[in-house]
Amino acid sequence: MFPNQALRPIEVLLVEGSPSDANLSIKSFLNAQIANNLHQVEATESAMNYLREQQ
């Protein structure tokens, strides 16, 4: 582990149209106990809009 990793959470954009698959991915992130800011969208267009807003 890098020293700064514990201080700064990983930014994750989960693009998944299936709610059950999205929940499985989210549970995996929780079980991994990695500090992250998880943002979930269902479609590519929503992902692109989210990324534009982050600039």
Q: Would you call 38 exposed, middle or buried from its count of C-beta atoms within 10 A (0-12, 13-18, 19+)?
A: middle
Count up the domains in the chain and report the number: 1
pLDDT along the chain (55 residues), means of 10: 67 96 95 92 97 93
Residue carrying structure tokens 């693009």: 15
On whether the CB atoms of residues 47 and 13 are closer than 8 A, the answer is yes
What local confidence, expressed as pLDDT, does residue 33 receive? Answer: 87
What local confidence, expressed as pLDDT, does residue 53 receive? Answer: 95
* Non-local CB neighbours of 37 within 8 Å, separated by 6+ positions: 9, 10, 11, 12
Domain extent, residue 30, equals 3-54
pTM for this model (two decimals) = 0.78
